[in-house]
């Protein structure tokens, strides 16, 4: 028993943070200004609250069934077949999410850094990395995330702080935006930003491996608050430096911010190279989580003892999905739509499960 329950509360929170912070960091300010212009930090905050609710639901469910993942306990809550449909949806969704993350990564790399390297190569390299790492057990999973998460927080905070030199607080006023954007587009945008958090679903495979599953709620709240706080800081830095209108002109405002920020005393004149290096790590940890989630849950669904073989079996499918979007604008349309549909799966479905579990008095934590 001791060998399978190794993840500490801190590690669980670190898993959440490094999973949530990912490819979305780059376009996030663009999504946010399209949602509320100068009110961008506020909508990011609201989105964070939505994500927080979703993650808390998951944590509560996980604490009710501390030895099982969502695939396993959903069967005992809503019955075998409805649960299988739900599980299949979760697995399919995370396979798609993994592929889209990999594709978005590939698009950024081919546009901004390696312009002649085929996008297929960057995508397959990233996916293979995730596949190889996913074969390892859950303790290694926890360690890898715990190792990387300070590397993610530090540089992003550094860039945000240094960029404040060029910031103008006027750009952030009025904090609720100028009301040029309709209510429908605003809600749409809030949901899109909230969907950037949904890889926090990985909590469901972390809880059964936690040393003290009772602390899952604490890990969930801290995980979402820290990553959400970082997102808000990124949005504030971008909007205060560029202004809402200029941010709308930039496909990846955060990358542009790193380009416009220099270390004092001419040590580094532009930080985009350093930032991209960090960001690759961030994307890797996200892909790693979603890929591990997909393969583990798939193994659980088919009651396989080991998920190792599945890791490579799944790779061609995920790669194929990643290559489906026709162009970069099409890709972002798909990401927005998939993200919003995904909220039903990552927040709606757990909410349903929890409600039914409470009503039927199902628990897995006491015999």
Partner 1 sequence: MIALLLAVPALTGCWDRLEIEDRAVVLGISVDTVPSAGERSEQEITHLSGSYPAPGGTRVRVGVQIALPGRIPLGPGEGGGGGQGPSAKTVWVVDAVGETLDDALMNLQQQISGRLFYGHLRVIVVSEALARQGLENMNDYFRRNSEIRRMAWMMVSSGPALDLMKASPELERVPTLYLMSTMDSAVRMGKFPVNYVGMFWSQSSKRGQEGFLPYVEVKKEQNVEIKGLAYFKNDRMVGFTKPFEIAAYMVVKGLNPAGYRAFVRLGDPERTVMVYATSRRSKIRVSIRNGVPHFHVDIFTELNLEEKVSNELTVNRSEILREIGRQNEKSISIAAEQLIEKTKKNNSDIFGFGEYVRAKVPGYWRKHVRTKENWQKIYPTIQVDLHVHSSIRRIGMKAK
Shortest Cβ 166–partner 1 spacing (Å): 8
Binding string, residues 56-95; x marks residues near partner 1 by CB under 8 A? ----------------------------------------
* Residues in region 28-57 near partner 1 by CB under 8 A: 38
- Cβ atoms within 10 Å, residue 50: 17
User: At residue 100, what are phi and psi to the nearest 5 degrees?
Assistant: -70, -40
Largest Cα span, the chain: 65
The one segment of 79-87, 110-118, 154-162, 356-364 that binds partner 1 by CB under 8 A: 110-118
Using CB under 8 A, which of 79, 150, 154, 179 touches partner 1? Answer: 179
Name which of 27, 25, 31, 20 is nearest 189 in CA terms: 31
User: At residue 25, what are phi and psi to the nearest 5 degrees?
Assistant: -55, -35
Q: Does 245 bind partner 1 (CB under 8 A)?
A: yes
Shortest Cβ 213–partner 1 spacing (Å): 33
Shortest Cβ 26–partner 1 spacing (Å): 13
Q: Does 136 bind partner 1 (CB under 8 A)?
A: no
Token pair 């890929």 in the structure block, residue: 291
Shortest Cβ 35–partner 1 spacing (Å): 17
Using CB under 8 A, which of 116, 184, 303, 305 touches partner 1? Answer: 116
Binding string, residues 309-338; x marks residues near partner 1 by CB under 8 A? ---x--------------------------
Chain-centre distance for alpha carbon 138: 18
Q: Does 260 bind partner 1 (CB under 8 A)?
A: yes
Name which of 315, 317, 307 is nearest 135 in CA terms: 307
Q: What is the DSSP string of 145-173?
A: HHHHHHHHHHHHHHHHHHHGGG--GGGG-
Considering the complex, state which of residue 269 and residue 306 has its C-beta at the smaller distance from partner 1: 269
Name which of 280, 274, 250 is nearest 159 in CA terms: 274
Q: Does 150 bind partner 1 (CB under 8 A)?
A: no
Shortest Cβ 139–partner 1 spacing (Å): 21
The one segment of 136-144, 163-171, 214-222, 299-307 that binds partner 1 by CB under 8 A: 163-171
In Å, how far are 26, 206, 252, 254, 271 from 258, measured between CA atoms?
Answer: 10, 33, 10, 6, 5
Q: Give 326: exposed, middle or buried? Use CB within 10 Å, 0-12, 13-18, 19+.
A: exposed
Cβ neighbours for 137, distance < 8 A, ≥ 6 positions apart: none
The one segment of 60-68, 194-202, 240-248, 291-299 that binds partner 1 by CB under 8 A: 240-248
Q: Does 277 bind partner 1 (CB under 8 A)?
A: no
Four-point Cα dihedral 143, 152, 345, 348, nearest 10? 100
- Spatial separation of the C-alpha atoms in residues 331 and 27, rounded to whole Å: 12
Positive/negative CA dihedral, 354, 294, 17, 195:
negative
Q: Does 306 bind partner 1 (CB under 8 A)?
A: no
Using CB under 8 A, which of 166, 187, 302, 329 touches partner 1? Answer: 166
Shortest Cβ 204–partner 1 spacing (Å): 27
Shortest Cβ 270–partner 1 spacing (Å): 6
Name which of 354, 13, 349, 39 is nearest 189 in CA terms: 39
Site size with partner 1, rule: CB under 8 A: 38
Q: Does 263 bind partner 1 (CB under 8 A)?
A: no
Shortest Cβ 143–partner 1 spacing (Å): 20
The one segment of 197-205, 220-228, 243-251, 301-309 that binds partner 1 by CB under 8 A: 243-251
Token pair 């945000």 in the structure block, residue: 160
| Residue numbers at the binding site for partner 1 (CB under 8 A) | 38, 111-118, 121, 124-125, 128, 131-132, 166, 170-171, 173-174, 178-180, 241-243, 245-246, 248-250, 256, 259-260, 262, 269-270, 312
């Amino acid at each position: 028993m001791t060998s399978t329950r190794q993840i500490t509360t801190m590690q669980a929170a670190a898993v959440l943070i490094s999973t949530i912070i990912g490819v979305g960091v780059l376009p996030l300010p663009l999504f946010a200004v399209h949602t509320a212009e100068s009110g961008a930090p506020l909508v990011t905050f609201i989105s964070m609250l939505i994500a927080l609710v979703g993650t808390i639901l998951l944590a509560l469910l996980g604490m009710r069934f501390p030895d099982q993942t969502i695939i396993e306990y959903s069967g005992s809550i809503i019955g075998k077949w409805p649960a299988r449909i739900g599980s299949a949806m979760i697995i399919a969704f995370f396979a798609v999410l993994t592929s889209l993350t990999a594709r978005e990564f590939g698009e950024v790399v081919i546009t901004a850094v390696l312009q002649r390297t085929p996008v297929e190569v960057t995508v397959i390299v990233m996916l293979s990395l995730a596949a190889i790492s996913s074969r390892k057990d859950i303790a290694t999973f926890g360690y890898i995330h715990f190792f990387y998460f300070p590397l993610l927080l530090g540089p992003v905070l550094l860039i945000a702080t240094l960029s404040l030199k060029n910031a103008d607080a006027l750009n952030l006023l009025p904090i609720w935006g100028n009301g040029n954007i309709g209510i429908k587009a605003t809600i749409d945008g809030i949901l899109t930003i909230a969907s950037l958090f949904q890889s926090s679903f990985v909590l469901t495979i972390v809880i059964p491996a936690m040393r003290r599953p009772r602390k899952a709620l604490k890990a969930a709240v801290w995980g979402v608050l820290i990553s959400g706080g970082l997102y808000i800081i990124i949005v504030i830095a971008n909007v205060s430096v560029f202004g809402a209108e200029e941010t709308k002109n930039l496909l990846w405002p955060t990358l542009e911010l790193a380009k416009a920020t220099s270390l004092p005393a001419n040590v580094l004149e532009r930080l985009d190279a350093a930032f991209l290096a960090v960001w690759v790590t961030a994307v890797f940890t996200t892909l790693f989580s979603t890929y591990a989630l997909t393969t583990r849950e798939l193994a659980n669904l088919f009651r396989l003892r080991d998920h190792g073989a599945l890791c490579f079996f799944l790779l061609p499918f995920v790669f194929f999905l990643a290559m489906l979007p026709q162009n970069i604008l099409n890709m972002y349309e798909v990401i927005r739509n998939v993200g919003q549909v995904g909220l039903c799966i990552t927040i709606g479905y757990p909410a349903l499960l929890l409600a039914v579990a409470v009503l039927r008095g199902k628990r897995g934590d006491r015999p």
